Structure 1
Amino acid sequence: MKTFNIYLSVILASILFFSCSDSSPVDSNNNKPDASSKYVIAASPTALEDVADYLLTTESLTEGTVSTLDSGVEQDGTYRYYVTNNNKYFSLLYGQGNPGAVTTYQLNNSGELEELSDFQSETVQAFTSVEDDVLMMKIPRSTNDPTAYWYRLDTKNSQFVDEGQIDVVKLANNGEGAYFSWMTQVGDQVWAPFSTITGSGNNRFSTKYPDQARIAVYSYPEMKLQKVIKDDRTSFIGRYFTKGLSVDEKGDVYAFSSAVAMDDDQKMISSKPSAVTRIREGTTEFDQGYFFDLEEASEGYYVTNHFYTSNGNFLVMMRDLNKKAPWTAGHHLAIINVYDKSFTWVKDLPDAKDIIRVTKMNSYISEDGQTIHTGITTKDGSHVYAIDVNSATATKGLEVKGGIITSINKIDPVE
């Protein structure tokens, strides 16, 4: 088995860790957390290209101003991605073929981000919080080297405590290689949707099997394959580096397909619509009685990303079908309800043609699930918008000067 070769540095870094407090409540209107909690906003400076993000902290998402020009914690390297677990904030560097890194922060009792550890790691293409761990996956793009590697980071002590391998050609079982779009904890398991890719030619992400939805089900923490769940009513679930599954309060799993399977020339070749399907709690089969056609509901758009709020409601990012592309995120926002299959465009947002970026990776959802705060950057600047789920109405809030908002999270200080 391939060795991760970072255990010693991680162990040395782990002595810097301190214990963390439990999450503190927010007020009923969700305008501000209690005085000690902070939102962490990752923003890429707009003045320069290919520069590192800044991490900015604020007590409110609905008012005020923060800036990358004179504040924040600068990250080391571009293409950073973020996840929180155990009240710690993890910044992961995507190395684009080079080694990556994991930097860990906590909020000290002075309300400032404090670096706990910073160590080199593998560059990974999928990661998620599972119990007290951050599970990460390094995924091959070639069938000539068909081994994916997973790594389990214990967030309590910042140590990699386990690792393993997955043969993606064997998993695909069709002559191509399985490529995981993301991973999601479902009960005590990890579900990993995947497309299958040729791994060769002009487009390594091309496929001869565009109309297949597949989910690999793994036990946890052993990561032993239990089953592959299959459905041919949609194309693959999720997109590259984009979550495709969410679990509601009932334990039901909803799967989102963008229908962006490609041939060798990057031509869209799926014959299936962009849609939502469902797997009932306690089962490992798609519910054949449930199908939510998002192209039909939106009258000509496909989904590129989603955030679950509560009670069957999702904020979805949509894009014109006539502009379908494999990597581009949509700038049209809507609220859908997967229970009654309703679809409502969000009002009072900037015009989609003026939007440069909508936060893709992390948006902050209120504890009651009624409001979702997402970052929107236009040529006129960047703001956090509070979207009321019930009315599908947006209100402009915090301004982020000099930066494109890439992530919004919340953490509490240590005691």
Structure 2
Amino acid sequence: MFSIKLARQLALPVMSLCATVLFTSCDSSDDSPAPVVEENPFVVSLAIKGSDGGFTYYTVPFEDVMSGALSAEGQGIEQPGYYDFTQIDNTIYSIGGLSDVNVVSISQNAAGELTQIGNVSFANPLSDIVKADDNTLVALEMAPNSDMVKFHTIDANTVKVTSTKQHPVSDITELSAPAYSGMRISGNHLFLSYYISDPNTFATPYTDAAQIAVYSYPGLEFQKVIEDTRTGPVGGFNIKSGLIKDGKGDIYALSHSNPANGYSQTTKEGGILRIKSGETAFDQDYFFDIEEINGGKNIAHLKYLGNGKAFAEINTADNDQQERWTDGPLRSAVIDLYNKTVTYIDGIPEHAGNGRRLAALHHENFVYLPVPEGNSIYVYKIDVENHTATKGAEVEANFVAGLFKL
């Protein structure tokens, strides 16, 4: 299975974007039909390791993910290399890295086929893409070998860059290269979370405070860096969930300093901070002390559900007992950001993560989560109200890079 350890060995960040990738069906015939399923399918991006040690990703539609086996054999959009997947509205964005470095959108056309639109490239690694409004995306380019932070505004319909704004890295730190951990837009501001990581050794020498850079939106002008010493840096290596936003526009910032997610030291307890909608400072009246409430265990991954609730993957080991780069061991839970509670899910075994963006789907009152068990992977359907889980289909892949519903 792909892990943070492998990503580190490949000298990530892995989101570099500069070349062109040819998409084909898994069938080698040039006139093979595109995969077709009924309206609003599940879509799974399956990562399969080749004999050369590299991975190929197959993005495949399925009518059901709770029975049988999910296989890419003979179908799917094929992408050899490294890819990160994120869904915005009814479109999946495939972000290439390493030697295959472009961005393409994947959606379902009127005939029920999975199709690709656009093909945009960048000079340096792309860290993430987030939604600004129904027609606009913002992409971030913040590479360890660059002294600039670049924001690209992208037309969501054509996947073409409409404008670029850049600022010197020195605006946000004079220390070693900042590593991306999260980005959200709320009202007239864009919030960018990061932590300090040596690009050569991946050591994290500064863990005494949370820092978030604040930019105007839509102007994308740098305004300031806000800092809070109640907890450590926001987010972790490659998991991209340092910041989430609720329905009111409040921003929540997750700090954990987990060695399992890339930290070489931990000097502050983990917790969650808040920036209230319309504000550009941390709310001093809010602190969700995760370690105190949860017996010293820290949240590694977060996915917002609604009404103040979020799905969480929680490391079951204390920070001083974690093996670095393992992204685990993890237990699944639902946290209440407003009432500051943690409720674990029954029926899911303790498991490891993939060392990357969480491949979990929130649909209606359920979260669908691929869970590795031994040498296999199974989809679990989690009832986020009753906190129970049902075991579903077996996944025929080395790991799942994305799970979506169109």
TM-score, normalised relative to structure 1: 0.79
Encode CA deviations 1:163-196: one digit per residue, 9 max, x unaligned: 1222112322x44444332211222422101223
Q: What amino acid does structure 1 have at the position aligned with 2:142?
A: I
* Sequence identity (%): 25
For residues 240 and 109 of structure 1, what CA distance do their matches in structure 2 show?
38
What is the 5 A alignment of 1:179-198? 179-197=179-197
Q: What amino acid does structure 1 have at the position aligned with 2:92?
A: Y
For residues 117 and 108 of structure 1, what CA distance do their matches in structure 2 show?
14
| Aligned residue pairs, count | 368
Structure 1 residue 101 displacement after superposition: 1.0
Please name the residue that 1:137 is paired with: 140
For residues 327 and 399 of structure 2, what CA distance do their matches in structure 1 show?
15
Q: Is 1:288 the counterpart of 2:296 in the alignment?
A: no
- Contact 1:90–1:104 under 8 Å retained in 2: yes
Q: What amino acid does structure 1 have at the position aligned with 2:128?
A: A
Secondary structure (helix, strand or coil) at the match of 1:70 reads: coil
For residues 147 and 49 of structure 2, what CA distance do their matches in structure 1 show?
38
Please name the residue that 1:232 is paired with: 229
What is the 5 A alignment of 1:296-311? 296-311=292-307
Encode CA deviations 1:222-251: one digit per residue, 9 max, x unaligned: 211133222111111111232211111232
For residues 385 and 91 of structure 2, what CA distance do their matches in structure 1 show?
31
Please name the residue that 1:399 is paired with: 394
Pair 1:375–1:211, CA change in 2 (3 A):
same
Pair 1:406–1:197, CA change in 2 (3 A):
closer
Encode CA deviations 1:146-167: one digit per residue, 9 max, x unaligned: 2222322211122111112221
Q: Could you tell me which of 270, 277, 281 is aligned with 1:274? A: 270
- Contact 2:204–2:264 under 8 Å retained in 1: no
Q: What amino acid does structure 2 have at the position aligned with 1:129?
A: K
What is the 5 A alignment of 1:237-386? 237-241=234-238, 242-260=240-258, 268-319=264-315, 320-321=317-318, 322-324=320-322, 327-330=325-328, 331-352=330-351, 355=352, 357=354, 360-367=357-364, 370-386=365-381
Q: What amino acid does structure 1 have at the position aligned with 2:72?
A: T
- Contact 1:99–1:120 under 8 Å retained in 2: no
Q: What amino acid does structure 2 have at the position aligned with 1:349?
A: I
Encode CA deviations 1:312-358: one digit per residue, 9 max, x unaligned: 22211122124435643232212211222211221101243xx5659
Structure 1 residue 121 displacement after superposition: 3.5
> Larger deviation: 223-232 or 176-185?
176-185
- Contact 1:214–1:231 under 8 Å retained in 2: yes
Q: Could you tell me which of 53, 71, 74 is aligned with 2:75? A: 71
For residues 366 and 165 of structure 1, what CA distance do their matches in structure 2 show?
36
Encode CA deviations 1:114-146: one digit per residue, 9 max, x unaligned: 23334544431233222223322222325xx52
Please name the residue that 2:94 is paired with: 91
> Larger deviation: 103-112 or 174-183?
174-183
Encode CA deviations 1:182-212: one digit per residue, 9 max, x unaligned: 211222422101223455xx525532x3111
Pair 1:248–1:271, CA change in 2 (3 A):
same
Q: What amino acid does structure 2 have at the position aligned with 1:394?
A: A
Structure 1 residue 297 displacement after superposition: 2.4
TM-score, normalised relative to structure 2: 0.81
For residues 183 and 391 of structure 2, what CA distance do their matches in structure 1 show?
32
Listed as ranges, the gaps of 5+ residues in structure 1 are 10-33
Structure 1 residue 280 displacement after superposition: 2.0
For residues 112 and 216 of structure 1, what CA distance do their matches in structure 2 show?
40
Q: What amino acid does structure 1 have at the position aligned with 2:111?
A: S
> Larger deviation: 293-302 or 112-121?
112-121
Structure 1 residue 220 displacement after superposition: 2.3
Q: What amino acid does structure 1 have at the position aligned with 2:222?
A: L
Structure 1 residue 86 displacement after superposition: 5.6
- Contact 1:381–1:400 under 8 Å retained in 2: yes
Aligned-pair RMSD on alpha carbons?
3.1
Structure 1 residue 307 displacement after superposition: 0.8
- Contact 1:41–1:407 under 8 Å retained in 2: yes
Secondary structure (helix, strand or coil) at the match of 1:125 reads: strand
Please name the residue that 1:128 is paired with: 130
Please name the residue that 1:388 is paired with: 383
Q: What amino acid does structure 2 have at the position aligned with 1:237?
A: V
For residues 100 and 192 of structure 1, what CA distance do their matches in structure 2 show?
22
Please name the residue that 1:17 is paired with: none
For residues 181 and 210 of structure 1, what CA distance do their matches in structure 2 show?
14
- Contact 2:84–2:357 under 8 Å retained in 1: no
